[in-house]
Amino acid sequence: MTKTWFITGASSGLGKEMAAQLLARGDRVIGTSRNAASLKSISEQYPDRFDACLLDLTDPGGLGQAVDAAFDRLGRIDVIVSNAGYGLFGAAEELDAAEIDRQIATNLTGPIHLIRAALPHLRGQCGGCIVQVSSEGGQIAYPSFSLYHATKWGIEGFIESLAQEVAGFGITCVVAQPGPTGTNFGANLVVAEASEAYAETPAGAVRRAILDGSFVLKGDAARTAAAMIDAAESSSPPLRLTLGSTAYESIADALKMRLAALEAQREVALKADRTDL
């Protein structure tokens, strides 16, 4: 049975790859972008099954109107894929206030407003799936990506709570955590002006690795997109879907270190309890 998908950021990266795979197999896709021209080719290729939607994630009112219009027009949307986003690169001190605000509005509050707008419709149709594209950066952190990590850790917490709130309505949630993948993520990276003070720090080392191309991208975009589609269609999807060997290994290492640190603090933690209970 064909499904209908609403995908933000459908003009590039994993969103574009998901849309291409879904349309090729016969599904219907509403794909969003901030630029109409970027959706022209896919609209022309699938005029009957692809609906282009201009959408700016930093405009909460526009988000709500677009989601309402899509459900009103199509009646049912099976999967909401919150994919649009970008990376802000630079040590925290190197970033300016406008860059910080835009990163949070695009990667965190935008997806929250999008999902909130979809929830009444998903409840009304008694089910659906929400796929939030995060990254390995929702569980680990690299120097020079502090604001990007802040948004990804934040959206993962939002989805983990939301999943418990909406399970009774037949709504499932998936947080996709790809590792470094062969998409145009790097081309869309917003790079803050470098400060000489950080040149010989871990932040400076990561900056050099990013800019000279030595940061290895092991992930395959087509396989990653296919795994996300499979998870969304599963009868029992995982809350977190880790994709790629880099993501698997880095997240596993981070969780082991976090658990070891927690265990080392057990005695201190227990002493913080009240003694009158």
Q: What is the 3-state secondary structure (H, E, C) of 115-156?
A: HHHHHHHHHHCCCEEEEEECCHHHCCCCCCCHHHHHHHHHHH
- The residues near 221 (Cβ < 8 Å, ≥ 6 apart) are 13, 14, 17, 181, 182, 183
Residues forming the active site = 134, 148, 152
Beta carbons within 8 Å of 243's beta carbon, 6+ residues apart: 176, 177, 178, 179, 181, 219, 224, 227, 228
Instruction: Identify the pLDDT of residue 9.
Output: 93
Tell me the pLDDT band of 183, cut-offs 50, 70 and 90. Answer: low
- For 246, the 3-state DSSP assignment is helix
Q: What is the pLDDT of residue 68?
A: 96
Task: For the full predicted model, state whether its pTM sits above 0.75.
Answer: yes
Q: Does position 123 have pLDDT exceeding 70, yes or no?
A: yes
By CB neighbour count within 10 A (0-12 exposed, 13-18 middle, 19+ buried), where does 33 fall? Answer: buried
User: Any idea which residue has 């879907």 for tokens?
Assistant: 241
Classify 4-246 by CATH class: alpha beta
Report CA dihedral (130, 30, 219, 95) to the nearest 10 degrees: -80
Q: What is the pLDDT of residue 181?
A: 74
**What pLDDT, on a 0 to 100 scale, did the predictor assign at position 116?**
98
Q: Is pLDDT of 6 > 80?
A: yes
pLDDT band at 132 (very low <50, low <70, confident <90, very high): very high
Give percent of the chain above pLDDT 70: 96
pLDDT at 46: 94
Average pLDDT over the chain, rounded to an integer: 93
Over residues 82-105, the mean pLDDT reads 95
Q: Is the predicted pLDDT of residue 187 greater than 70, yes or no?
A: no
Q: Encoding tokens for residue 118? A: 């979809």
Percent of the chain with pLDDT over 90: 85
State the Cα–Cα distance between residues 144 and 124, nearest whole angstrom.
42
Whether the pLDDT of residue 21 is over 80: the answer is yes
User: Residues near 142 by Cβ (< 8 Å), separated by ≥ 6?
Assistant: 149, 206
The alpha carbon of 203 is separated from its chain's Cα centroid by a whole number of angstroms, namely 23
